[in-house]
Amino acid sequence: ELKVEQNPLFLSMQEGKNYTIYCNYSTTSDRLYWYRQDPGKSLESLFVLLSNGAVKQEGRLMASLDTKARLSTLHITAAVHDLSATYFCAVLNAGGTSYGKLTFGQGTILTVHP
């Protein structure tokens, strides 16, 4: 059974600082997704990582995937208040009869302070 763990679960940052959110998963997969959720809102797709070594960047966020280590990171550069949200990673089942099954991490609640 695929397990996905994020850490930290809570992250309080000062504006201008850098930090990384980690997403570890337990079984082989090469499809990993990052989503953002604002309070009371739905989820918004940030990144889709489709292969080992994939790196994607959008603004102050950069995501990477290491399938050998079963680890993805979401790096935040020079945080601003607008980045305050909950961030989820999700991993796609690699194959077999359960292809299409998605498992989410618990989410990381990010708060950026002035």
Partner 1 sequence: EAQVTQNPRYLITVTGKKLTVTCSQNMNHEYMSWYRQDPGLGLRQIYYSMNVEVTDKGDVPEGYKVSRKEKRNFPLILESPSPNQTSLYFCASSGTGLVHVYEQYFGPGTRLTVT
What does the alpha-carbon distance between residue 107 and residue 114 come to, in Å, rounded to a whole number? 23
Cβ proximity to partner 1: between 30 and 66 the closer is 30
Residues 50-79 that bind partner 1 (CB under 8 A): 50
Residue 26 found at the interface with partner 1 (CB under 8 A): no
* Number of separate helices (H) and strands (E) present in the chain: 0, 11
Cβ proximity to partner 1: between 3 and 17 the closer is 3
Residue 44 found at the interface with partner 1 (CB under 8 A): yes
Q: Near partner 1 by CB under 8 A, which window of 13-21, 37-45, 55-63, 72-80?
A: 37-45
> For residue 63, what is the enclosing H or E element?
strand 61-66
Residue 107 found at the interface with partner 1 (CB under 8 A): yes
Among 7, 22, 24, 43, binds partner 1 (CB under 8 A): 43
CA 107 to chain centre: 8
Considering only CA atoms, give the Rg of the chain.
14
- Edge-to-edge, what's the strand order for the sheet holding 19-25? 4-7, 19-25, 71-76, 61-66, 55-58
Q: How far apart are the first and last CA of the chain?
A: 41
Among 88, 91, 110, 112, binds partner 1 (CB under 8 A): 88
For partner 1, the binding residues (CB under 8 A) are 31, 33, 35, 42-45, 48, 50, 88, 90, 92, 97-107
